[in-house]
Amino acid sequence: MTGVLVGALLGVGLFLIWWSLWPRDEAPTRASRDNRIVQRLKDDIAQAGYRGIGPAGLVTACVIAFFLVLVTVVALTRVPPIALCFAVMAGWVPIAVVRMRARSRRAHLRDLWPDAVDNVTSAVRAGLALPEALAQLSVRGPEELRPAFADFASDYRTTGRFNDCLDRLKDRLADPVGDRLVESLRIAREVGGSDLGSLLRTLSTFLREDARTRSELETRQSWTVNAARLAVAAPWIVLALLSTRPESVQAYNTSTGVLVLAVGAAATFIAYRVMVRIGRLPEEERVLR
């Protein structure tokens, strides 16, 4: 018995030694997850071009839409389960609109960034300093990007701190391509050298090729995303039409009706997420935040 106990302790000790040799990834805390959610909302709002709206304002709009639709549908149909389903959808609408606008604007800016990089390259070759090369984009750059670079020019004239102004520019743009351009210019400012022109030309070429490739893929795969949206909307549109006659939806006011709505909502959500994950191209992340 003693030999078995000693062998077990030896085995446990050897296992713990082996386990300690491998690095462990710390599990994300609730605070870090909340920060990621808030940061994503901030990025979506900035990419959508909605100035003056923060995550709190967006969440408030969601809550208002939820309660307005809940009260309205309950008053019209007298069926709280159906009202709750449509209220949840309405509460998600503000976020969906912001993300749709952000996705559309990212696709539009993807075609504009090469021109902006070319303008910076021309300014650098003409002998302008890096801050002035960026500031002139507020006048000569693409129309959609001018406000952000105008704010950068104002910040730099006020503070003269190039790195701090670049950080604020990245926050205003909230764009992966903008992050790459900013970090390239930051390194060129700190390290120096004569390769900035070739670096910017290479970046411009890469951005044009990437935009062309993504545009072709999105055109071919857009039908999958549209089909997923149509499949999601169809049963709920039918339910909304049925709700115009309250006597037609009284069956959903029972426990069986609630179960049918819950299963339908879960199936719709899972199917939509799977379809979108299959059909939509992955969005570029801000790794140089």
Percent of the chain predicted with pLDDT > 90: 7
pLDDT tens column, 75-108? 888 888 888 989 999 999 999 899 888 888 888 8
Q: Is the pLDDT of residue 47 over 90?
A: no
Helix (H, G, I), strand (E, B) or coil at 282: coil
Amino acid at site 285: E
Going by C-beta distance under 8 Å and a sequence separation of 6 or more, which residues neighbour residue 230?
A: none
CA distances from 222 to 21, 77, 105, 106, 147 (A): 47, 36, 16, 16, 31
User: For residues 83 and 246, what is the distance between their CA atoms, to the nearest angstrom?
Assistant: 12
- Say how far residue 212 (Cα) sits from the centre of its chain: 21
* Residue 204 or 31, more confident: 204
Average of per-residue pLDDT values in the chain: 80
Specify the pLDDT at position 67: 93
Nearest to 228 by CA among 271, 189, 197, 196: 271
Is residue 284 predicted with pLDDT exceeding 50? yes
87: amino acid identity, one letter: A
Query: Residue 30: pLDDT band by 50, 70, 90 thresholds?
Result: very low
Residue type, 150: A
257 with 251: CB under 8 angstroms? Answer: yes
